Amino acid sequence: MLRFLRWRLLQLGPVLLGVSILVFFGMHLIPGDVAQLLLGDKGTDADLQRMRHQLGLDQPVYIQYFRFLGGALQGDFGESIRTRQPVIWEIAQALPVTVQLSLAALAFALVAGLSIGVLAARFPHSALDTGSMVGVLVGVSMPVFWTGILLLLVFGGILGWLPLGGVLDGTLAVRRITGAPLLDGVLTGRWPIVWSAGRHLVLPAVALGATAMAAIARMARSSMLDVLGLDFIRTARAKGLAERRVVSRHALRNALLPVVTLVGLQLGLLLSGAVLTETIFALPGLGRLAITSVLARDYPVVQGVVLIAAAVFVVANLAVDVLYVYLDPRVRYQ
Question: Residue 206: which residues within 8 A CB-CB, separation 6 or more?
Answer: 105, 108, 147, 151
Residues 144-203, interacting with other proteins (CB under 8 A): 144-146, 149-150, 152-153, 157
Residue 197 or 208: which CB sits closer to other proteins? 208
Find the part of the chain contacting other proteins (CB under 8 A) among 42-50, 83-91, 170-178, 264-272: 264-272
**Cα 247 off chain centre by:** 30
Which residue's CB is nearer to other proteins, number 194 or number 211?
211
HEC string for 268-283:
HHHHHHHHHHHHHCCC
Q: Is 97 in the site for other proteins (CB under 8 A)?
A: no
Q: What SS3 state is found at 86?
A: strand
Asked whether 170 and 122 are in contact (CB, 8 A), the reply is: no
Contact 259, 223 (CB under 8 A): yes
> Judged by CB under 8 A, which stretch of 33-41, 88-96, 247-255, 300-308 contacts other proteins?
300-308
125 pairs with which residues across the strands? none
How many other C-beta atoms are found inside a 10 Å radius of the C-beta of residue 10? 9
Per the CB < 8 A criterion, the answer to whether 334 and 13 are in contact is: no
CA distance 128 to 121: 10
Residues 6+ apart with CB under 8 A from 268: 313
Assess 271 for contact with other proteins (CB under 8 A): yes
When the beta carbons of 81 and 197 are compared against other proteins, the nearer one is 81
Rounded Cα–Cα distance for residues 230 and 236 (Å): 10
Residue 91 as a binder of other proteins (CB under 8 A): the answer is no
CA dist 121 and 119 (Å) reads 5
Name the residue nearer to other proteins (CB basis): 193 or 256. Answer: 256
**Nearest distance in Å: CB 21, other proteins:** 8
Name the one range near other proteins by CB under 8 A: 43-51, 232-240, 247-255, 319-327: 319-327
Q: Is 18 in the site for other proteins (CB under 8 A)?
A: yes
Q: How far is the CB of 242 from other proteins (least distance, A)?
A: 25
Indicate whether 131 belongs to the interface with other proteins (CB under 8 A): no
> Shortest distance, CB of residue 191 to other proteins, whole angstroms?
30
Determine the Cα–Cα distance for residues 236 and 158; give it in Å rounded to an integer: 50
Is there binding between residue 252 and other proteins (CB under 8 A)? no
Confirm or reject binding of residue 241 to other proteins (CB under 8 A): no
Q: Which of 37, 202, 225, 241 binds other proteins (CB under 8 A)?
A: 225
Taking phi over 0 as left and psi of -120 to 50 as alpha, with beta for the rest, 319 belongs to alpha
Q: Write the DSSP string, 178-230.
A: SS-HHHHHHHHT-HHHHHHHHHHHHHHHHHHHHHHHHHHHHHHHHHHHHHHTS
Nearer to other proteins, 198 or 328 (CB): 328
Minimum CB distance to other proteins smaller for 46 or for 73: 73
- Taking CB under 8 A as the criterion, the residue among 137, 173, 177, 230 binding other proteins is 137
* Pairwise CA distance, residues 5 & 138, whole Å: 38
Specify the stretch interacting with other proteins by CB under 8 A; choose among 108-116, 170-178, 237-245, 313-321: 313-321
Provide the binding-site residues for other proteins, judged by CB under 8 A: 4, 14-16, 18-19, 21-23, 26-27, 29-31, 124, 137-138, 140-146, 149-150, 152-153, 157, 219, 222, 225-226, 261-262, 264-265, 268-269, 271-273, 275-276, 279-280, 290-291, 294-295, 297, 299, 302, 305-306, 309-310, 313-314, 317, 320-321, 324-325, 330-331, 334
